[in-house]
Amino acid sequence: MKLRDKAEKVSKAERNLGGFDLLKPLRKLLLALRDESDPKRKLFYDDFVSLLLLYFFNPTLTSLRGLQAASGFPSVRRKLGVPRASLGSLSAAQHVFDVDGLRDVFLQLFDQIPADKGNPRLAELKQIVTVADGTLLKALPRVAWALWLNDGQRAAKAHVQFEILKGSASRVDVTAANTSEREVFRASLEPGRLYVVDSGYAAFALFQEILDKGSSFVARLPTGWNHEILEERPLTEADREARVVSDSIVQLGSSKASAALKGPVRLVVIEKVDEPSQRMRAERGVRETIVLVTDRLDLPADLVAQLYSARWQIEIFFRWLKCTLGCKHLVAESANGVALQLYTALIACLLISLWTGKKPTKRVFEAICLYFQGWADLDDVMATVRRLAPHDNAA
Protein backbone atom coordinates (compact mmCIF):
# COMPACT_ATOMS: atom_id res chain seq x y z
CA MET A 1 0.00 0.00 0.00
CA LYS A 2 1.34 3.44 -0.92
CA LEU A 3 2.14 5.91 1.84
CA ARG A 4 -0.50 8.30 0.49
CA ASP A 5 -3.17 5.59 0.70
CA LYS A 6 -2.13 4.84 4.28
CA ALA A 7 -2.37 8.53 5.15
CA GLU A 8 -5.88 8.71 3.69
CA LYS A 9 -6.94 5.70 5.80
CA VAL A 10 -5.50 7.28 8.95
CA SER A 11 -7.28 10.54 8.14
CA LYS A 12 -10.58 8.69 7.69
CA ALA A 13 -10.12 6.87 11.00
CA GLU A 14 -9.43 10.17 12.72
CA ARG A 15 -12.63 11.67 11.31
CA ASN A 16 -14.52 8.66 12.66
CA LEU A 17 -13.14 9.17 16.17
CA GLY A 18 -16.58 10.04 17.45
CA GLY A 19 -16.52 7.95 20.60
CA PHE A 20 -15.83 10.87 22.87
CA ASP A 21 -19.34 12.17 22.16
CA LEU A 22 -20.44 9.56 24.69
CA LEU A 23 -18.63 11.60 27.33
CA LYS A 24 -20.73 14.74 26.78
CA PRO A 25 -23.16 14.06 29.68
CA LEU A 26 -20.17 13.52 31.97
CA ARG A 27 -18.50 16.76 30.90
CA LYS A 28 -21.32 18.79 32.48
CA LEU A 29 -20.65 17.08 35.81
CA LEU A 30 -16.90 17.48 35.46
CA LEU A 31 -17.18 21.21 34.77
CA ALA A 32 -18.26 21.64 38.40
CA LEU A 33 -14.72 20.61 39.35
CA ARG A 34 -13.07 23.42 37.39
CA ASP A 35 -11.43 26.12 39.48
CA GLU A 36 -9.86 28.91 37.42
CA SER A 37 -8.77 31.04 40.37
CA ASP A 38 -5.08 30.25 39.78
CA PRO A 39 -4.03 32.19 36.64
CA LYS A 40 -0.91 30.02 36.27
CA ARG A 41 -2.87 26.77 36.01
CA LYS A 42 -3.24 25.40 32.47
CA LEU A 43 -4.48 21.89 33.25
CA PHE A 44 -7.72 21.94 35.24
CA TYR A 45 -9.38 19.22 37.31
CA ASP A 46 -11.91 18.30 34.59
CA ASP A 47 -9.11 18.17 32.00
CA PHE A 48 -7.14 15.76 34.17
CA VAL A 49 -10.10 13.42 34.68
CA SER A 50 -10.89 13.48 30.93
CA LEU A 51 -7.32 12.43 30.19
CA LEU A 52 -7.55 9.64 32.78
CA LEU A 53 -10.71 8.38 31.06
CA LEU A 54 -8.77 8.36 27.79
CA TYR A 55 -6.16 6.23 29.58
CA PHE A 56 -8.78 3.70 30.67
CA PHE A 57 -10.56 3.49 27.32
CA ASN A 58 -7.36 3.18 25.30
CA PRO A 59 -5.37 0.08 26.37
CA THR A 60 -2.37 1.22 24.32
CA LEU A 61 -1.74 3.89 26.97
CA THR A 62 0.08 2.36 29.92
CA SER A 63 1.86 5.25 31.64
CA LEU A 64 1.69 8.91 32.53
CA ARG A 65 4.26 9.63 29.81
CA GLY A 66 2.05 7.90 27.25
CA LEU A 67 -0.92 9.95 28.38
CA GLN A 68 1.14 13.15 28.14
CA ALA A 69 2.20 12.24 24.60
CA ALA A 70 -1.42 11.54 23.60
CA SER A 71 -2.44 15.02 24.79
CA GLY A 72 -0.14 16.38 22.09
CA PHE A 73 -2.37 15.04 19.30
CA PRO A 74 -4.73 17.76 18.01
CA SER A 75 -7.58 15.28 17.51
CA VAL A 76 -7.38 14.14 21.15
CA ARG A 77 -7.33 17.71 22.43
CA ARG A 78 -10.28 18.61 20.19
CA LYS A 79 -12.38 15.61 21.13
CA LEU A 80 -11.69 15.85 24.84
CA GLY A 81 -11.59 19.62 24.99
CA VAL A 82 -8.30 19.60 26.91
CA PRO A 83 -5.03 21.47 26.46
CA ARG A 84 -1.66 19.91 25.73
CA ALA A 85 -0.47 18.63 29.10
CA SER A 86 3.09 18.67 30.32
CA LEU A 87 4.45 15.75 32.32
CA GLY A 88 4.96 18.13 35.23
CA SER A 89 1.34 19.29 35.25
CA LEU A 90 0.07 15.69 35.12
CA SER A 91 2.36 14.72 37.99
CA ALA A 92 1.31 17.75 40.04
CA ALA A 93 -2.40 17.11 39.43
CA GLN A 94 -2.43 14.07 41.70
CA HIS A 95 -1.42 16.28 44.62
CA VAL A 96 -3.45 19.40 43.77
CA PHE A 97 -6.94 18.06 43.05
CA ASP A 98 -8.97 16.86 46.03
CA VAL A 99 -10.51 13.43 45.51
CA ASP A 100 -13.72 14.48 47.31
CA GLY A 101 -14.82 16.47 44.27
CA LEU A 102 -14.44 13.47 41.97
CA ARG A 103 -16.20 11.26 44.51
CA ASP A 104 -19.20 13.60 44.30
CA VAL A 105 -19.24 13.27 40.49
CA PHE A 106 -19.04 9.50 40.85
CA LEU A 107 -21.97 9.42 43.29
CA GLN A 108 -24.13 11.49 40.94
CA LEU A 109 -23.55 8.90 38.22
CA PHE A 110 -23.95 6.04 40.68
CA ASP A 111 -27.43 7.28 41.62
CA GLN A 112 -28.47 6.80 37.98
CA ILE A 113 -27.71 3.05 38.05
CA PRO A 114 -30.88 0.98 38.75
CA ALA A 115 -30.71 -1.54 41.59
CA ASP A 116 -32.12 -4.40 39.54
CA LYS A 117 -29.21 -6.81 39.13
CA GLY A 118 -28.69 -10.14 40.83
CA ASN A 119 -31.01 -12.20 43.00
CA PRO A 120 -34.46 -10.51 43.21
CA ARG A 121 -34.87 -11.90 46.74
CA LEU A 122 -32.17 -9.50 47.89
CA ALA A 123 -34.34 -6.55 46.84
CA GLU A 124 -36.90 -7.58 49.46
CA LEU A 125 -34.48 -7.22 52.38
CA LYS A 126 -35.16 -3.48 52.90
CA GLN A 127 -31.42 -3.00 53.31
CA ILE A 128 -28.71 -2.28 50.74
CA VAL A 129 -26.63 -5.45 50.36
CA THR A 130 -23.03 -4.22 50.44
CA VAL A 131 -19.88 -6.33 50.23
CA ALA A 132 -16.71 -4.90 51.78
CA ASP A 133 -13.20 -6.12 50.96
CA GLY A 134 -9.73 -4.87 50.11
CA THR A 135 -7.27 -5.49 47.30
CA LEU A 136 -3.59 -4.66 46.83
CA LEU A 137 -2.21 -2.49 44.03
CA LYS A 138 1.56 -2.79 43.71
CA ALA A 139 3.49 0.47 43.82
CA LEU A 140 7.06 1.40 42.93
CA PRO A 141 9.67 1.01 45.69
CA ARG A 142 10.14 4.79 45.76
CA VAL A 143 6.52 5.34 46.88
CA ALA A 144 7.42 5.80 50.54
CA TRP A 145 3.88 6.04 51.98
CA ALA A 146 2.74 2.68 50.51
CA LEU A 147 4.14 0.53 53.31
CA TRP A 148 3.82 -3.21 52.78
CA LEU A 149 6.34 -5.99 53.35
CA ASN A 150 9.64 -4.09 53.22
CA ASP A 151 11.35 -1.16 51.53
CA GLY A 152 11.59 -3.06 48.25
CA GLN A 153 7.94 -4.15 48.20
CA ARG A 154 5.45 -1.29 48.32
CA ALA A 155 1.72 -1.38 47.63
CA ALA A 156 -1.45 0.63 48.04
CA LYS A 157 -4.61 -0.98 49.34
CA ALA A 158 -8.01 -0.17 47.86
CA HIS A 159 -10.76 -0.66 50.45
CA VAL A 160 -13.87 -1.19 48.33
CA GLN A 161 -17.57 -1.39 49.10
CA PHE A 162 -19.66 -3.05 46.39
CA GLU A 163 -23.46 -2.91 46.10
CA ILE A 164 -24.74 -6.25 44.83
CA LEU A 165 -28.05 -5.09 43.31
CA LYS A 166 -26.37 -2.27 41.38
CA GLY A 167 -23.47 -4.48 40.33
CA SER A 168 -21.08 -1.64 41.10
CA ALA A 169 -18.60 -0.42 43.67
CA SER A 170 -20.07 2.42 45.71
CA ARG A 171 -17.02 3.56 47.64
CA VAL A 172 -13.23 3.21 47.63
CA ASP A 173 -10.66 4.36 50.19
CA VAL A 174 -6.91 4.23 49.53
CA THR A 175 -4.32 3.50 52.21
CA ALA A 176 -0.92 1.88 52.57
CA ALA A 177 -1.05 -1.89 52.09
CA ASN A 178 -0.47 -2.72 55.75
CA THR A 179 -3.43 -0.63 56.98
CA SER A 180 -6.15 -2.57 58.80
CA GLU A 181 -9.14 -3.26 56.55
CA ARG A 182 -11.27 -3.54 59.66
CA GLU A 183 -10.44 -0.03 60.86
CA VAL A 184 -11.06 1.59 57.46
CA PHE A 185 -14.37 -0.27 57.21
CA ARG A 186 -15.36 0.84 60.73
CA ALA A 187 -14.86 4.50 59.78
CA SER A 188 -17.15 4.16 56.73
CA LEU A 189 -20.20 2.47 58.31
CA GLU A 190 -23.61 3.76 57.23
CA PRO A 191 -27.20 2.99 58.29
CA GLY A 192 -29.62 0.92 56.22
CA ARG A 193 -27.10 -1.59 54.89
CA LEU A 194 -26.58 -5.32 55.13
CA TYR A 195 -22.81 -5.74 55.10
CA VAL A 196 -21.38 -9.03 53.79
CA VAL A 197 -17.77 -9.57 54.85
CA ASP A 198 -15.12 -12.26 55.13
CA SER A 199 -13.42 -13.50 58.29
CA GLY A 200 -10.87 -10.68 58.33
CA TYR A 201 -13.63 -8.35 59.53
CA ALA A 202 -14.87 -10.62 62.31
CA ALA A 203 -14.81 -8.84 65.69
CA PHE A 204 -17.40 -8.60 68.46
CA ALA A 205 -17.02 -4.83 68.79
CA LEU A 206 -17.29 -4.24 65.03
CA PHE A 207 -20.44 -6.36 64.80
CA GLN A 208 -22.01 -4.24 67.55
CA GLU A 209 -20.93 -1.00 65.84
CA ILE A 210 -22.70 -2.15 62.67
CA LEU A 211 -25.87 -2.77 64.68
CA ASP A 212 -25.58 0.54 66.52
CA LYS A 213 -25.28 2.28 63.15
CA GLY A 214 -28.65 0.85 62.09
CA SER A 215 -27.30 -1.82 59.74
CA SER A 216 -26.94 -5.61 59.70
CA PHE A 217 -24.19 -8.09 58.83
CA VAL A 218 -23.46 -11.51 57.38
CA ALA A 219 -19.87 -12.44 58.19
CA ARG A 220 -17.70 -15.50 57.93
CA LEU A 221 -16.23 -16.54 61.26
CA PRO A 222 -12.67 -17.78 61.67
CA THR A 223 -12.32 -21.29 63.01
CA GLY A 224 -12.26 -21.84 66.74
CA TRP A 225 -14.74 -19.22 67.94
CA ASN A 226 -16.58 -20.40 71.05
CA HIS A 227 -20.35 -20.26 71.17
CA GLU A 228 -23.24 -21.53 73.23
CA ILE A 229 -26.19 -22.92 71.28
CA LEU A 230 -29.49 -21.48 72.48
CA GLU A 231 -31.77 -22.91 69.78
CA GLU A 232 -31.39 -25.35 66.88
CA ARG A 233 -33.51 -24.54 63.85
CA PRO A 234 -34.85 -27.19 61.46
CA LEU A 235 -33.60 -27.13 57.87
CA THR A 236 -35.92 -26.84 54.89
CA GLU A 237 -35.44 -28.46 51.50
CA ALA A 238 -34.35 -25.08 50.14
CA ASP A 239 -31.73 -24.86 52.91
CA ARG A 240 -30.30 -28.26 51.99
CA GLU A 241 -30.18 -27.34 48.31
CA ALA A 242 -28.18 -24.25 49.33
CA ARG A 243 -25.69 -26.57 51.11
CA VAL A 244 -26.75 -25.46 54.60
CA VAL A 245 -25.49 -27.95 57.21
CA SER A 246 -26.96 -26.37 60.34
CA ASP A 247 -28.85 -23.27 61.53
CA SER A 248 -28.85 -22.16 65.16
CA ILE A 249 -29.30 -19.22 67.53
CA VAL A 250 -26.20 -18.81 69.70
CA GLN A 251 -24.38 -16.65 72.20
CA LEU A 252 -20.94 -15.99 70.78
CA GLY A 253 -17.71 -16.22 72.76
CA SER A 254 -16.90 -16.25 76.44
CA SER A 255 -18.88 -14.09 78.86
CA LYS A 256 -16.15 -11.41 78.81
CA ALA A 257 -15.76 -11.33 75.02
CA SER A 258 -19.46 -11.56 74.28
CA ALA A 259 -20.14 -8.49 76.41
CA ALA A 260 -19.05 -6.41 73.41
CA LEU A 261 -21.87 -7.94 71.33
CA LYS A 262 -25.24 -7.45 72.95
CA GLY A 263 -27.73 -10.26 72.53
CA PRO A 264 -27.73 -13.55 70.62
CA VAL A 265 -26.87 -13.97 66.95
CA ARG A 266 -27.35 -16.68 64.40
CA LEU A 267 -24.86 -19.24 63.07
CA VAL A 268 -25.50 -20.75 59.66
CA VAL A 269 -23.00 -23.44 58.68
CA ILE A 270 -22.70 -24.16 54.95
CA GLU A 271 -20.73 -26.71 53.01
CA LYS A 272 -17.74 -25.29 51.16
CA VAL A 273 -17.60 -26.63 47.60
CA ASP A 274 -16.29 -23.63 45.67
CA GLU A 275 -13.22 -25.35 44.21
CA PRO A 276 -13.14 -28.54 42.08
CA SER A 277 -10.83 -30.21 44.62
CA GLN A 278 -13.34 -29.49 47.36
CA ARG A 279 -16.15 -30.96 45.28
CA MET A 280 -14.10 -34.15 44.93
CA ARG A 281 -13.55 -34.24 48.69
CA ALA A 282 -17.28 -33.73 49.23
CA GLU A 283 -18.02 -36.65 46.91
CA ARG A 284 -15.74 -38.82 49.07
CA GLY A 285 -17.68 -37.80 52.17
CA VAL A 286 -15.12 -35.25 53.43
CA ARG A 287 -16.94 -32.03 54.27
CA GLU A 288 -15.32 -28.62 54.61
CA THR A 289 -17.62 -26.02 56.07
CA ILE A 290 -17.96 -22.26 56.37
CA VAL A 291 -19.48 -20.75 59.51
CA LEU A 292 -21.53 -17.62 58.93
CA VAL A 293 -22.82 -15.27 61.61
CA THR A 294 -25.64 -12.77 61.19
CA ASP A 295 -27.93 -10.65 63.31
CA ARG A 296 -30.81 -11.27 60.86
CA LEU A 297 -32.75 -13.94 62.72
CA ASP A 298 -35.68 -13.55 60.32
CA LEU A 299 -34.02 -14.63 57.08
CA PRO A 300 -34.31 -18.14 55.63
CA ALA A 301 -31.02 -19.99 56.06
CA ASP A 302 -30.69 -20.56 52.31
CA LEU A 303 -30.85 -16.80 51.75
CA VAL A 304 -28.06 -16.25 54.28
CA ALA A 305 -25.98 -18.74 52.27
CA GLN A 306 -26.81 -16.92 49.03
CA LEU A 307 -25.83 -13.59 50.58
CA TYR A 308 -22.38 -14.93 51.36
CA SER A 309 -22.07 -16.45 47.89
CA ALA A 310 -22.82 -12.99 46.45
CA ARG A 311 -19.59 -11.83 48.11
CA TRP A 312 -17.65 -13.35 45.22
CA GLN A 313 -18.93 -10.58 42.96
CA ILE A 314 -16.40 -8.24 44.52
CA GLU A 315 -13.59 -10.68 43.63
CA ILE A 316 -14.80 -10.65 40.00
CA PHE A 317 -14.88 -6.86 40.19
CA PHE A 318 -11.29 -6.74 41.47
CA ARG A 319 -10.18 -8.88 38.53
CA TRP A 320 -12.03 -6.57 36.13
CA LEU A 321 -10.57 -3.46 37.76
CA LYS A 322 -6.98 -4.67 37.66
CA CYS A 323 -6.76 -6.95 34.65
CA THR A 324 -9.23 -5.36 32.21
CA LEU A 325 -9.29 -1.67 33.13
CA GLY A 326 -5.59 -1.66 33.92
CA CYS A 327 -5.59 -0.44 37.53
CA LYS A 328 -2.85 -2.98 38.14
CA HIS A 329 -0.57 -0.22 36.80
CA LEU A 330 -0.64 2.94 38.91
CA VAL A 331 0.01 6.18 37.02
CA ALA A 332 -0.04 8.08 40.32
CA GLU A 333 2.35 7.87 43.26
CA SER A 334 0.49 9.76 46.01
CA ALA A 335 -2.39 8.27 48.00
CA ASN A 336 -4.65 11.05 46.71
CA GLY A 337 -3.50 10.39 43.15
CA VAL A 338 -4.23 6.67 43.43
CA ALA A 339 -7.71 7.52 44.76
CA LEU A 340 -8.24 9.85 41.78
CA GLN A 341 -7.21 7.05 39.41
CA LEU A 342 -9.52 4.54 41.11
CA TYR A 343 -12.55 6.84 41.16
CA THR A 344 -11.99 7.61 37.48
CA ALA A 345 -11.90 3.85 36.87
CA LEU A 346 -15.19 3.48 38.76
CA ILE A 347 -16.67 6.27 36.63
CA ALA A 348 -15.55 4.39 33.51
CA CYS A 349 -17.40 1.30 34.81
CA LEU A 350 -20.55 3.34 35.47
CA LEU A 351 -20.40 4.90 32.01
CA ILE A 352 -20.32 1.46 30.42
CA SER A 353 -23.35 0.40 32.48
CA LEU A 354 -25.23 3.59 31.59
CA TRP A 355 -24.39 3.28 27.88
CA THR A 356 -25.31 -0.40 27.57
CA GLY A 357 -27.81 -0.97 30.38
CA LYS A 358 -25.81 -3.95 31.61
CA LYS A 359 -22.87 -4.77 33.85
CA PRO A 360 -19.53 -4.04 32.16
CA THR A 361 -17.86 -7.10 30.65
CA LYS A 362 -14.53 -7.58 28.94
CA ARG A 363 -16.12 -8.11 25.51
CA VAL A 364 -18.23 -4.94 25.79
CA PHE A 365 -15.23 -3.00 27.08
CA GLU A 366 -13.19 -4.13 24.07
CA ALA A 367 -15.97 -3.09 21.69
CA ILE A 368 -16.21 0.36 23.30
CA CYS A 369 -12.44 0.81 23.12
CA LEU A 370 -12.55 -0.03 19.40
CA TYR A 371 -15.43 2.43 19.01
CA PHE A 372 -13.38 5.17 20.64
CA GLN A 373 -10.54 4.39 18.25
CA GLY A 374 -12.77 4.56 15.19
CA TRP A 375 -12.65 0.84 14.33
CA ALA A 376 -16.27 0.12 15.34
CA ASP A 377 -19.54 2.04 15.37
CA LEU A 378 -22.38 2.10 17.88
CA ASP A 379 -24.23 -0.67 16.04
CA ASP A 380 -21.17 -2.92 16.53
CA VAL A 381 -21.08 -2.12 20.24
CA MET A 382 -24.77 -2.82 20.77
CA ALA A 383 -24.55 -6.02 18.71
CA THR A 384 -21.84 -7.17 21.13
CA VAL A 385 -24.08 -6.32 24.08
CA ARG A 386 -26.98 -8.28 22.62
CA ARG A 387 -24.82 -11.33 21.87
CA LEU A 388 -23.68 -11.70 25.46
CA ALA A 389 -25.64 -14.10 27.65
CA PRO A 390 -27.18 -12.55 30.78
CA HIS A 391 -24.83 -14.53 33.06
CA ASP A 392 -21.62 -13.40 31.35
CA ASN A 393 -19.24 -11.66 33.75
CA ALA A 394 -16.09 -9.62 33.42
CA ALA A 395 -13.90 -12.59 32.54
CATH number of the domain to which 120 belongs: 3.90.350.10
CA-to-CA separations, 24 to 20, 84, 239, 351, 360, in angstroms, rounded:
7, 20, 49, 11, 20
Kindly state whether residues 183 and 231 are assigned to the same domain: yes
In a domain, 176, yes or no: yes
Tens-digit pLDDT profile for the chain (395 aa)? 433 443 344 333 333 334 455 676 688 889 899 998 888 888 999 999 999 999 998 888 888 999 999 999 998 898 888 999 999 999 999 999 999 999 999 999 999 998 887 788 888 898 999 999 999 988 876 777 777 777 767 889 999 999 999 999 999 999 998 999 999 999 999 999 999 999 999 999 999 999 999 999 999 999 888 888 999 999 999 999 999 999 999 998 766 666 788 889 999 999 986 554 445 555 555 568 999 999 999 999 999 999 999 999 999 999 998 888 888 778 888 899 999 999 999 999 998 888 887 778 888 888 888 888 888 887 888 888 888 755 444 43
Is residue 198 within 8 A of residue 133, CB to CB? The reply is yes
Residues 349 and 258 in one domain: no
Q: Is 367 contained in some domain?
A: yes
**Contact by Cβ (8 Å): 296, 218:** yes
Residues 179 and 300 reside in one and the same domain: yes
Say if 267 falls within a structural domain. yes
Q: What is the pTM of this model?
A: 0.85
What are the C-alpha distances in Å from 328 to residues 26, 55, 63, 76? Answer: 25, 13, 11, 25
Question: Does residue 393 sit within a domain?
Answer: no
- The answer to whether residues 277 and 355 belong to one domain is no
* 138 plus 186 within the same structural domain: yes
d(CA 195, CA 215): 8
At 111 the pLDDT is 93
From the CB of residue 132, how many other CB atoms can be counted at a distance below 10 Å?
Answer: 26
Domain boundary among 315, 350, 367: 315
Local structure of 131: helix, strand or coil:
strand
Range of the domain at 93: 13-98+337-385
Residues 162, 293: one domain? yes
198 and 300 belong to one structural domain: yes
Same-domain pairing of 118 and 222: yes
- Give residues with Cβ within 8 angstroms of 350, minimum separation 6: 106, 109, 110, 112, 113, 168
274 within a domain of the structure (yes/no): yes
Please, are residues 150 and 169 in contact by the beta-carbon 8 Å criterion?
A: no
Same domain for 355 and 224, yes or no, is no
Cα distances (angstroms) measured from residue 41 to each of 29, 38, 49, 333, 384: 20, 6, 15, 21, 42
Identify the CA nearest to 316 among candidates 349, 278, 289.
349
Asked if residue 140 is part of any domain, the answer here is yes
What's the pLDDT at 205?
92
The total number of residues shown for the chain amounts to: 395
pLDDT recorded at residue 115? 85
Q: Are residues 45 and 133 in the same domain?
A: no
Number of domains present in the structure of the chain: 2
- Inter-residue long-range contacts of 153-156, CB under 8 Å, 24+ positions, other chains counted: 156/330, 156/335, 156/338
Residue 239, number of CB atoms within 10 A of its CB: 22
Answer whether 106's CB lies under 8 Å from 155's CB: no
Element (H, E) at 32: none
The verdict on residue 289 lying in a domain is yes
Query: Do residue 94 and residue 114 come from a single domain?
Result: no
Residues 184 and 277 in one domain: yes
Q: How far apart are CA 304 and CA 129, in angstroms?
A: 12
Q: Looking at residue 16, what is its pLDDT?
A: 34
- Residue 332 domain-assigned (yes or no): no
Quote the pLDDT of residue 240. Answer: 95
